[in-house]
Chain A
Amino acid sequence: MFDTLSDRLQTALGGLSRKGRLDEETVTKAMREVRLALLEADVDFEVVKEFVAAIKERALGADVLTGLEPGQRVVKIVHEELTQLMGAGDSKLAFGRPPTVILMTGLQGSGKTTSSAKLALLLRREGKQPALVAADLQRPAAIDQLEQLGRQIQVPVYRGDNADPVAVSKAGVEWAKHNGNDVVIVDTAGRLHVDEELMDELARVRDATKPLNVLLVLDAMTGQEAVNVAKAFQERVAFDGLVMTKLDGDARGGAALSVKAVTGCPIKLVSIGEKLDQIEWFHPDRMASRILGMGDVLTLIEKAEAAAEEGEQEEMERRMRAGEFTFDDFLSSYRMIRRMGPLQGVLKMMPGIGKQLDGIDIDEKQMARVEAIVLSMTPHERRVPHAINGPRRRRIADGSGTTIDEVNKLLQARKQMAKMVKQMGKGKLPALPPELTRAPRR
């Protein structure tokens, strides 16, 4: 695994004083690490060079804030600059006199068809009435794929009987207009940016459909090639924004920075999973964190907010402040976490914990046993955990199909969690309780 930038900087600058200003030597050392980190994140070579030069200027003579290591200070500056650079420009889509046409373009395999369907679903949920046009006449069964996706998300799909994508696109837009759809998403065939003929065809599709939004769909795993691709698509179809796909993997997605820097076009959407609702509007600060390998606290907070039911959150907060943590809290926080998705994914987003998780599998089955134990307790036992004596432990173990040993472990874990909760109430990040992890399988 790559080291995160903060770890690398900590190592490189570890011996330096915590006070005063960042001097020339410190900054030069730090910039070397920043450069390597960005290259490993697949940021374009030239972009790295320019970016590092700009950062260096800002970092020189910057105050080292109290409480921050020099390395953390540099990370903060890099993060701020990255966020600013990627955040410039409008990340919203343009909507005009209906139907608004959105043209999806990109290389083969970048995820155009799936992104088209995801975008349609996102817009439908935001109150629009989208239609899809299957204009990828190149890849075998691409039209079938879009049609199946359209059925899943209940969005109409136009398929033409013409072999010319220009004619199909045009007819599709007309068809959607006739049906009263206010947004039309045109899925085109993947093409290489060096293929003159197909790039020309794409320009003709654009001219025929007059899209308000031309989107370039780009795989987050793309390497140095991203810049060539973006430049070529910009030259030929003048795209307005970027859709980054496959961000659910562990690619750092440095291509996002490269493309933004080289074309000036904002990133509009990010695709973060295989399910059709896993697409989001772009957040530059999160992308900056990702490129730097810093975890994704904001997404986590948002997920937690979405998962917590009304009132539940305030109640939790009140209890946490009071330093209380009963088995009832245990159960509700446990269920809240379950609603946020697979535990591994949730924990990965927490800074610091992501690294602890390297090579460790979270045992989801173990979690289910834990739930069974709590459910075998009486309401009184859940509220007043210290009332659970020997005979009660035996009864709980029998009731949940576990052993007394496991029940004891859980009682122990609750005590630890109560401590953690107190710390969290004071604004500290907890360490992962060892009960929830196990050694790697291999």
Chain B
Amino acid sequence: MSRTWAELLGDAAGVVDDEERTGFFGRLRESLSKSRRALTDQLAAAAFDAADDESWERLEVALLRADVGVPATAELVGRLEARGEIGSLEDALAEEVERLFGEPPTLAVQGATPRVILVVGVNGTGKTTTIGKLANTLREHGRSVLLGAGDTFRAAAEEQLEIWATRSGADLVGASAGGDPAAVAFDAIEAGRARGRDVVIIDTAGRLHTQTNLMAELEKVRRVIAGRIDDAPHETLLVVDATTGQNGLQQARLFAAAAGVTGVVLTKLDGSAKGGVAVAIAHELGLPVKLVGVGEAVGDLRPFDAHDFARALISG
């Protein structure tokens, strides 16, 4: 059963939950079925035989093709080999991936308001879209939301966020183009406090993790937030595109160092990309995936479920 929003947010279970549980996996399966997946088909078709070298090789190939990367693939295969008896490969792998990801994470939205969520990532991963969808879902789960348009660099970024704010019924605090993102964060938190909002989500401009000055800017945004509310930001989400290859690991490493990332949002999982780099990130940095984006619709941002993810990784 998939994780529900209520579980992710730490709320009491709601009525929609049962319907929700089938939702994510069903959607993921559906989208994955559209993709070409010769290798994973092969893997599923041929029964896995732990005594057969070819079976292991097929598994390795499937994981590498899913962008899990060489070290994490070696780790997973090693763990499976250590089990001796495999039984169902799908279940065994799912268990190992689940163990790698650790306890199911929650989103830190409980506690004294406003809760502050900072959203960071490289260019084009879907930060603004993720924020729009998250704002909408939080509203549905009874939270009032305020958005801070901290992407002061990209042309029309604020306009894009404004459209999402209107759609999701959230407030928007903006800035002038080329303005200081730290100042936007400051204003957003002050406004969130004054208006008694539950959650303040702060957008930031996409930046490559190699741009030292822009990463320093991010550190400053973080400092300003922490200066307004002691334990804030309560969440710093790194948005990673599921089509990203091994560079995703480096992204996670450097963003974690500069902005203290607390979780990953894996977007664009509705293509044929499996997002295996999330396994590499969890393996090497211990960062949990908290949310996944599985489509363009508002409702297509879902709580991450390690078991579903693992199965999709190899079963298509």
Please name all residues of chain A whose beta carbon is closer than 8 Å to the beta carbon of B244 when the two chains form the complex: 219, 221-223
B124 touches A45 (CB 8 A): no
Interface-forming stretch among A246-254, A375-383, A396-404?
A246-254
A194-B70 in contact given A109-B241, A249-B210, A250-B250 (Cβ < 8 Å): no
The residue that A246 contacts in the complex, of B31, B67, B208, B246, with Cβ under 8 A, is B208
* A148-B155 Cα distance, complex, nearest whole Å: 6
Q: Give the residue name and chain of the A residue nearest to B153 (CB).
A: A274
Please name all residues of chain A whose beta carbon is closer than 8 Å to the beta carbon of B209 when the two chains form the complex: 249-250
The residue that A249 contacts in the complex, of B208, B242, B277, with Cβ under 8 A, is B208
Q: Closest approach, in angstroms, between the C-beta of A164 and any C-beta of chain B?
A: 18
The residue that B245 contacts in the complex, of A141, A229, A254, with Cβ under 8 A, is A254
A224-B212 in contact given A140-B164, A141-B160 (Cβ < 8 Å): no
Interface residue? B181 (CB, 8 A) = no
Q: Closest approach, in angstroms, between the C-beta of A138 and any C-beta of chain B?
A: 8
| Per-residue B-contact encoding for A29-57, CB less than 8 Å = 1, 0 else | 00000001001111001000000000000
Q: Closest approach, in angstroms, between the C-beta of B161 and any C-beta of chain A?
A: 8
Interface residue? B290 (CB, 8 A) = no
A225-B61 in contact given A40-B246, A249-B210 (Cβ < 8 Å): no
A223-B246 in contact given A109-B241, A145-B156, A361-B212 (Cβ < 8 Å): yes
Please name all residues of chain A whose beta carbon is closer than 8 Å to the beta carbon of B126 when the two chains form the complex: 108-109
* A246-B155 Cα distance, complex, nearest whole Å: 17
Interface residue? A139 (CB, 8 A) = yes
A249 touches B65 (CB 8 A): no
Interface residue? A299 (CB, 8 A) = no
Interface residues of A, dominant DSSP: loop
B67 touches A224 (CB 8 A): yes
Interface-forming stretch among B45-53, B137-145, B184-192, B267-275?
B267-275
B243 touches A219 (CB 8 A): yes
A109-B124 in contact given A224-B64, A225-B273, A246-B208 (Cβ < 8 Å): yes
The residue that B159 contacts in the complex, of A108, A144, A221, A361, with Cβ under 8 A, is A144
Please name all residues of chain B whose beta carbon is closer than 8 Å to the beta carbon of A250 when the two chains form the complex: 209-210, 247, 250
Q: Closest approach, in angstroms, between the C-beta of A332 and any C-beta of chain B?
A: 26
A194-B31 in contact given A228-B36, A249-B210 (Cβ < 8 Å): yes
A223 touches B273 (CB 8 A): yes
* A361-B257 Cα distance, complex, nearest whole Å: 15
Q: Closest approach, in angstroms, between the C-beta of A117 and any C-beta of chain B?
A: 9
Q: Give the residue name and chain of the B residue nearest to A194 (CB).
A: B34
* A219-B251 Cα distance, complex, nearest whole Å: 14
* A39-B159 Cα distance, complex, nearest whole Å: 39
The residue that A110 contacts in the complex, of B124, B162, B247, with Cβ under 8 A, is B124
Interface residue? B263 (CB, 8 A) = no
| Per-residue A-contact encoding for B190-222, CB less than 8 Å = 1, 0 else | 000000000000000000111111000000000
Q: Give the residue name and chain of the A residue nearest to B164 (CB).
A: A140
Please name all residues of chain A whose beta carbon is closer than 8 Å to the beta carbon of B152 when the two chains form the complex: none
* A107-B272 Cα distance, complex, nearest whole Å: 12
The residue that A194 contacts in the complex, of B159, B212, B272, with Cβ under 8 A, is B272
A224-B65 in contact given A141-B159, A194-B31 (Cβ < 8 Å): yes
B210 touches A45 (CB 8 A): no
Please name all residues of chain B whose beta carbon is closer than 8 Å to the beta carbon of A220 when the two chains form the complex: 247
* A111-B157 Cα distance, complex, nearest whole Å: 14
Please name all residues of chain B whose beta carbon is closer than 8 Å to the beta carbon of A108 when the two chains form the complex: 124, 126, 268
Interface residue? B55 (CB, 8 A) = no
Q: Give the residue name and chain of the B residue nearest to A249 (CB).
A: B208
* A141-B161 Cα distance, complex, nearest whole Å: 9
* A219-B267 Cα distance, complex, nearest whole Å: 15
Interface residue? A300 (CB, 8 A) = no
Interface size class of B (residues with CB under 8 A): 35 or more
B210 touches A225 (CB 8 A): no
* A229-B212 Cα distance, complex, nearest whole Å: 31
Q: Give the residue name and chain of the A residue nearest to B67 (CB).
A: A223
B155 touches A249 (CB 8 A): no
* A122-B219 Cα distance, complex, nearest whole Å: 34
Please name all residues of chain B whose beta carbon is closer than 8 Å to the beta carbon of A64 when the two chains form the complex: none
Please name all residues of chain A whose beta carbon is closer than 8 Å to the beta carbon of B160 when the two chains form the complex: 139-142, 145
For window 60-94 of B, CB contacts with A under 8 Å fall at 61, 64-67, 69-70
For window 1-44 of A, CB contacts with B under 8 Å fall at 1-2, 36, 39-42
Q: Give the residue name and chain of the A residue nearest to B214 (CB).
A: A274
Q: Closest approach, in angstroms, between the C-beta of B186 and any C-beta of chain A?
A: 24
The residue that A221 contacts in the complex, of B162, B164, B247, with Cβ under 8 A, is B247
Please name all residues of chain B whose beta carbon is closer than 8 Å to the beta carbon of A226 when the two chains form the complex: 243, 245
Please name all residues of chain A whose beta carbon is closer than 8 Å to the beta carbon of B257 when the two chains form the complex: 442
| Per-residue A-contact encoding for B9-52, CB less than 8 Å = 1, 0 else | 00000000000000000000001001110000000000000000
A144 touches B36 (CB 8 A): no
Please name all residues of chain B whose beta carbon is closer than 8 Å to the beta carbon of A322 when the two chains form the complex: none
Please name all residues of chain A whose beta carbon is closer than 8 Å to the beta carbon of B248 when the two chains form the complex: 221, 223
* A219-B242 Cα distance, complex, nearest whole Å: 12
* A420-B156 Cα distance, complex, nearest whole Å: 49
Q: Give the residue name and chain of the B residue nearest to A255 (CB).
A: B245
B124 touches A111 (CB 8 A): yes
Interface residue? A192 (CB, 8 A) = yes
Interface residue? A149 (CB, 8 A) = yes
Most chain A CB neighbours (cut-off 10 Å) among B66, B156, B209: B156
B163 touches A140 (CB 8 A): yes
Identify the B interface with A (CB < 8 A).
31, 34-36, 61, 64-67, 69-70, 122-126, 153-157, 159-160, 162-164, 208-213, 241-248, 250-251, 257, 268, 270-273, 276-277
Q: What would 6 A/B residue contacts be, using CB atoms closer than 8 Å?
A: A2-B246, A41-B246, A139-B160, A140-B160, A145-B155, A224-B245
User: Told that A39-B64, A225-B272 touch, could you supply 19 new A-B pairs with CB distance under 8 A?
Assistant: A107-B268, A108-B268, A142-B160, A145-B154, A192-B271, A193-B271, A219-B124, A219-B241, A219-B243, A223-B276, A225-B242, A226-B243, A228-B272, A248-B208, A249-B122, A249-B209, A249-B247, A250-B250, A255-B245
The 4 A-B pairs at the shortest CB distance, nearest first, are namely: A223-B245, A109-B124, A42-B245, A148-B155
